[in-house]
Chain A
Amino acid sequence: MSDYPVRLLPKPHYNIVEDDVLMSQPGLWLIRHIDSDKTEFLGNTRTLNPDCIKIQSDHLRDLSNNLLGVFRTVDIYYGIEKSVSKSYCSLWDGSEECVVPPYGHYFKDTNRGYYFIPVDILRQQNVNIINIPDNTKEEFHFKILHTPTKCNFWHISIRVYDINDCEVSKLIVSKKKRDRIWKTVRDFLVTSVVKTNDIKPVYSELNPAIYCRAE
């Protein structure tokens, strides 16, 4: 019998939350798992190893997270098996009916680590890169987008944009330059934003009126 948390699934009366509405909500926190095989911390510090910040490389380069609220910390232990991930982890179109993954299609890994991202901190800070040889300065900022999947309505993507609102993966720069931007982003997150799992998150839940259709 499946014990997959059913509350995570998109419901027929749910709406995809608009980007600007999501960005304007105060007190939101995101949670992300760390694969069991990763070294969580740098040396004997409590600074997260930047390698734990996983950047998706399929479509747009983004950081996959979950919005805390209906999605609880204990839900982070659930994952979808790779062989069936296409059917469950593809984006929800806003109307499809979703099925609960049966036993065997998902796993529960309680050895996984996790970290938190308070959205308010992410929203308030820009990342500046100073390029000494060219004497130029680049500025990047973050956006969070609601990207529900068929097995998790609370899936959120963090994307990084330059000052012209161009997403980093679409910038016309060399691969090496893009790699350097991603490294800066990850170092910024681990030094300035991420909260490790030894703290208790204090977050606001998204008001249901924002994601439920009016009857």
Chain B
Amino acid sequence: MVTAPAIEDVNIVRQVPAFLRHYQKSQRIKNVLWNEPHKRSHKPAELVLLQSDLLSICIKLDKIKKLYNKYRSFCAVDFNTFVYAYHKMSDVMSTIVPEHCDIVTEVSVEDECLYNYYEFNDTKIFFNLFFDKDEESPVAQVNVRSNGKFLSIEGSIEEVAAYIKNALDNNLNV
């Protein structure tokens, strides 16, 4: 069962900008409802929507926590770095894969990395993140198969994303 984050999880929610935005907004609406009862008739619908968004974010947070705990068992990576990279990976890939990507798997942890797999048209992409407790940010690795060619790119999350976007636009002729 998914529950709202506990007080000790406050560091977790702070890492998720969407959560913070929704949370602050819902608090503002609650305050309005509490202090200005005459506005009640206009706000409940919005509050319900926000609460539903909050719940879906909590579910996401729950998943990230599980992934983090799994990863932490073999690499003492900092939690903030982990969550930031997780979101960054999703953000940059949303600019690369088509809106209706045929297949996106759940983010998984294998013994050496955090990875996600995307498949669309004739293209298969592994986005891998390798954390190191001594490094501030992870090494990103994208392994892509497209049009019968295979390419592996390593660098920062932003670097590999920009490179692979360009490579895909040019049928991996880089």
Contacts and interface: CB of A to CB of B under 8 A. Distances in A.
23 contacts: A42-B103, A42-B117, A43-B106, A43-B117, A44-B103, A45-B103, A45-B105, A47-B119, A47-B124, A51-B110, A127-B150, A128-B151, A129-B152, A130-B151, A130-B152, A130-B154, A131-B155, A132-B156, A182-B112, A183-B110, A187-B143, A188-B152, A192-B145
A179 B119 contact: no
A180 B110 CA distance: 12
Contacts of B151: 128, 130
Contacts of B130: 176, 179-180, 183
A42 B106 CA distance: 9
Interface in A111-137: 125, 127-133
Nearest to B174: A130
A5 B11 CA distance: 59
A197 interface: no
Contacts of B156: 132-133
Contacts of A43: 103-106, 117
Nearest to B154: A131
Contacts of A176: 130, 132, 139
Nearest to B153: A130
A50 B104 CA distance: 15
Interface of B: 103-106, 110, 112-113, 115, 117, 119, 124, 126, 128, 130, 132, 139, 141, 143, 145, 150-156, 159-160, 163, 174
B159 A180 contact: no
A133 B103 contact: no
A95 interface: no
B117 to A, nearest CB: 5
A179 B104 CA distance: 24
Contacts of A51: 110
A180 B103 contact: no
B101 to A, nearest CB: 11
Contact of B110 (A50, A133, A191): A50
Contacts of A110: none
A42 B103 CA distance: 9
Contacts, number: 88
Interface of A: 42-45, 47, 50-51, 125, 127-133, 176, 179-180, 182-184, 187-188, 191-192
Contacts of A50: 110, 126
Given A47-B124, A176-B130, A128 B103 contact: no
A127 B151 CA distance: 7
Contacts of A127: 150, 152
The 8 closest A-B pairs by CB, nearest first: A132-B155, A191-B145, A187-B143, A43-B105, A179-B112, A129-B152, A184-B152, A132-B159
Nearest to A43: B105
A162 to B, nearest CB: 14
B10 to A, nearest CB: 32
Given A180-B130, A183-B112, A184-B143, A132 B153 contact: yes
B119 A45 contact: yes
